[in-house]
Amino acid sequence: MNTKLNEILTKALEEIESATTFLKLNEIKAFYTGKKSPLSEIMRMLTNATIEEKKTIGAASNRVKQQIEEAISNKRVALEEKEINDKLQAEALDVTLPGYEFKKGSIHPLNKTIEELEDIFVSMGYSIAEGPEVEIDVFNFEMLNVPKGHPARDMQDSFYINENILMRTQTSPVQVRTLLEAEGKPVKIVCPGKVYRRDDDDATHSHQFMQLEGLVVDKNITMSDLKGTLSVLMKKMFGENRKIRFKPSYFPFTEPSVEVDVSCFKCGGKGCSMCKHTGWIEVLGAGMVHPNVLKGAGYDPKVWKGFAFGAGIERLTMLRHNIDDIRNFYTNDYRFLKQFEGER
Ligand code: PHE
């Protein structure tokens, strides 16, 4: 019997030793400790044995069973440890590998221009105003001296939302909003913002672009104030030696109206491809606030005078950086934008 028990033990220990999975180990456990195990078989064979025999064999069988169970539980611990180590190995991170390169964004060239313009005007005592892009016809046109049916409406093809509401075609409605809010007090603001026109997009046109509006209203404002202000602006934007000139123009909300040219910053005025050999580059529209606009907003035009101007942000930015296609600003091509990193 003892030989038999030893055989069982040796075999069981061998099997346990060679088990590599929990499944296999469970099978071994079921086989050697269950009702039909070889050990139970031996106990059954003892039916006819003496009490003494039963005692010794029973005890020996129990010891074998205990040894087997102990070996199984040791093996289980070993398998668990192996499982953890395998997992750690499989998920190991090589912290010395170089990381991904994260591309760093930079301030958009249009925003840089806006920031610079704002700095220039704030240093001259202006406040920054804002207005909505979805605007009422009354502010975008009517109170700017462009009644319904006025031919000047054709100068700016519009996106209408309904009969009275449109996407603003210019930042000039902020003039009206600012005057109404100021309720008869002096006004000195600039307002940057997006505007919308029904234009076909090409290298120099976009259905959506940005403007900077300027408005000064006070008691003794003259055209020299306008000229002095824009002269400072152009020197700061395009260099100390820049001159400006006014050409007569037409806007319904200014009288007189002017087109403002700056002397070419590339050739200094001698004539080159940049200024189309004229020595001058057209940069913005301006004029003295029309009496009808002042009156409409509650300012007596006999007492109050003002000047206003509107500049295209894209155009100024294109001139400064020699950009030949306005669409570059909107396509978010990283290679284009990266060129302006850190630059003004
Ligand atoms: N709003 C005009 C335009 O978009 C520009 C402008 C503004 C002209 C203010 C005169 C005064 O064309």
Grade residue 24 by pLDDT with cuts at 50, 70 and 90.
very high
Could you tell me the distance, in angstroms and rounded to a whole number, from the CA of residue 170 to the centre of ligand 1? 7
Q: Is 192 in the pocket of ligand 1 (CB under 6 A)?
A: no
Q: Please indicate, yes or no, if residue 104 is contained in any of the structural domains.
A: no
**Chain-centroid distance, C-alpha 191:** 23
Which of 60, 90, 120 is at the close of a domain? 90
Domain presence at residue 157: yes
- Does 314 share its domain with 278? yes
Site to substitute for ligand 1 among 211, 216, 247, most atoms within 8 A of C-beta: 211
Q: How far is the CA of 244 from the centre of ligand 1 (A)?
A: 17
Note whether 230 and 148 are same-domain residues. yes
Tell me if 306 CB under 6 Å of ligand 1.
no
pLDDT at residue 270, rounded to an integer: 92
How many Å lie between the centroid of ligand 1 and the Cα of residue 309? 6
The whole-angstrom distance between residue 80's C-alpha and the CA centroid of its chain comes to 48
Max alpha carbon distance in the chain (Å)? 136
The ligand 1 atom at the shortest distance from the C-alpha of residue 171 is 1
Number of domains in the chain: 2
Please report whether residue 288 resides in a domain.
Answer: yes
Residues 136 and 203 in one domain: yes
Burial class (CB in 10 A: 0-12, 13-18, 19+), 10: exposed
Instruction: Determine how β-strand 134-136 pairs with β-strand 305-312.
Output: unpaired
Q: Where a domain ends, among 45, 61, 90?
A: 90
The domain that contains 157 carries what CATH number? 3.30.930.10
Q: How far apart are CA 2 and CA 5, in angstroms?
A: 5
114-149 pLDDT tens trace: 999 999 999 999 999 999 999 999 999 999 999 998
Phi, psi for residue 183 in degrees, rounded to 5: 50, 55
Determine the structural domain holding residue 232 and report its residue range.
109-340
Does 251 contact ligand 1 (Cβ within 6 A)? Answer: yes
How high is the pLDDT of residue 52? Answer: 87
pLDDT digits (tens, 9 = 90+) for 27-53: 999 899 888 888 888 888 888 888 888
Give the pTM. Answer: 0.72
